[in-house]
A and B are shown apart, each in its own frame.
Chain A
Amino acid sequence: MNKSDVYITIPMYNDEKMITKVIKDLNSKGYNNVVVVDDGSKDNGYSVVKKNTKAIVTRHVVNRGQGAALQTGMEIAIDRGAKYIVHFDSDGQHDVKDLDHMLKTLIEGKYDIVLGSRFLQENKIPLKKRIVLKGGIVFTYILSGIWLTDVHNGLRVMTAETAKKLNLQHDRMEHASEILDKVKSLNLKYKEVPVTIHYTDYSQAKGQSISNSINIAMKLISSKLRE
């Protein structure tokens, strides 16, 4: 695999403190095509990326949500000739070390998409978070008919073809379930692999609250009803 075929898309929202480290870590492992989409942040993340890194960077003039930012990032990557696309978080909770084996699995197993799972290996997950995530697994199964061990993991690796097919319509956090729904409905070949998640106070403070999870669930149900 040629790493210049791989494009890492990072949706960024108020992450000026972490983003430089995240990009530098990726670069140090040979991933130099990084697309950062600043989703209307209130901090100076955009300038920080521009000044300190060689990443491709752009900005949503108003906040549109993580799903919208990912879609923008994927379209930029596809326009620039990406063969493989990676979804990566901007808050430093993902580990660059997982990328090599995820990409290897994708290519050698001829999968359409490889999903990271924090439950397939030992990860220190706070109890509250664990309950919300397990609830999400059952919810996704009921709604989309796909049983996974982790449904809201932001680390994904896919082929450019898959990225084109996904064409995310949900702008906010519902995109994570939308992706799984499409994996099932488009009959994509997928695999879950264990990944490391670094829970820091920083990423915890930025994570999803329980009330927001309920909000996401309501939106998904209403969009399902309208299909």
Chain B
Amino acid sequence: MIIQYVATGIIAIIIIQQIVKFVKDRPTFFKTLVMSIFWSMVLVLIWFPGIMDWLGEITGVGRGVDVLIYLSIIFLFYYVLRQNSKIDKLEKDITKLVREMAKSNAK
């Protein structure tokens, strides 16, 4: 199927980008590794969609695509929570800064 080739091309570019970024900007090795494994897994699933169906069967969800959708929702939910707590921390830091400025300018 054409979609498999297109997706492979896009993922290949992403993985190459990860490696280039690792060489250039030196982010943590762990992060690069996790991202590369994640995208490689996506690649495997694209070429062997049967794996998803097998997962669907053993988890009792049924269709393989449904497993993917459920996993995506869980991941997105976790991501939103993490972003929220990051924003909360930022807000607190801004208040701290604004307060220190206000205190030193009180006349």
Q: Mark A residues whose CB is within 8 Å of B.
A: 35, 37, 50, 56-62, 64, 68, 71-72, 75-76, 79, 169, 171
CB nearest neighbor in A for B98: A60
Are A58 and B95 in touch, CB under 8 angstroms?
A: no
Q: What residues on B are CB-neighbors of A37 within 8 Å?
A: 102
Chain B: interface size category: 10 to 19
CB within 8 Å of A: which B92-107 residues: 92, 94-95, 98-99, 101-103, 105-107
Q: How long is the Cα–Cα vector from A71 to B105 in the complex, in angstroms?
A: 15
Listed by A's residue number, 18 A-B pairs whose Cβ atoms lie within 8 Å are A35-B106, A50-B107, A58-B102, A60-B98, A60-B101, A61-B98, A61-B101, A62-B94, A64-B94, A64-B95, A68-B95, A71-B99, A72-B103, A75-B99, A75-B103, A76-B103, A76-B106, A171-B95
Nearest CB of chain A from residue B30's CB, rounded to whole Å: 27
CB nearest neighbor in B for A67: B95
Q: How long is the Cα–Cα vector from A61 to B94 in the complex, in angstroms?
A: 10
Are B103 and A59 in touch, CB under 8 angstroms?
A: no
Q: How long is the Cα–Cα vector from A60 to B104 in the complex, in angstroms?
A: 11
Q: How long is the Cα–Cα vector from A117 to B98 in the complex, in angstroms?
A: 32
Q: What residues on B are CB-neighbors of A169 within 8 Å?
A: 92
Are B106 and A58 in touch, CB under 8 angstroms?
A: yes
Q: How long is the Cα–Cα vector from A178 to B43 in the complex, in angstroms?
A: 50
Interface of B is mostly: helix
Q: What residues on B are CB-neighbors of A60 within 8 Å?
A: 98-99, 101-102
Q: What residues on A are CB-neighbors of B99 within 8 Å?
A: 60, 64, 68, 71-72, 75
Q: Mark B residues whose CB is within 8 Å of A.
A: 91-92, 94-95, 98-99, 101-103, 105-107
Known interface pairs A62-B94, A64-B94; A72-B102 also in contact (CB < 8 Å)? yes
Q: What residues on A are CB-neighbors of B101 within 8 Å?
A: 60-61
Nearest CB of chain A from residue B97's CB, rounded to whole Å: 9
Q: What residues on A are CB-neighbors of B92 within 8 Å?
A: 169
Are A64 and B103 in touch, CB under 8 angstroms?
A: no
Of the residues A35, A59, A64, contact of B105 by C-beta under 8 Å: A59
Q: What residues on A are CB-neighbors of B94 within 8 Å?
A: 62, 64
Nearest CB of chain A from residue B11's CB, rounded to whole Å: 37
Q: How long is the Cα–Cα vector from A68 to B102 in the complex, in angstroms?
A: 11
Q: How long is the Cα–Cα vector from A68 to B106 in the complex, in angstroms?
A: 15
Q: How long is the Cα–Cα vector from A18 to B106 in the complex, in angstroms?
A: 21
CB nearest neighbor in A for B84: A222
Are A59 and B102 in touch, CB under 8 angstroms?
A: yes
Q: How long is the Cα–Cα vector from A71 to B101 in the complex, in angstroms?
A: 13
Q: What residues on A are CB-neighbors of B91 within 8 Å?
A: 171
Q: How long is the Cα–Cα vector from A79 to B94 in the complex, in angstroms?
A: 21
Beyond A57-B107, A61-B102, A62-B98, 6 additional pairs, beta carbon < 8 A? A35-B106, A59-B105, A60-B101, A64-B95, A64-B99, A72-B102
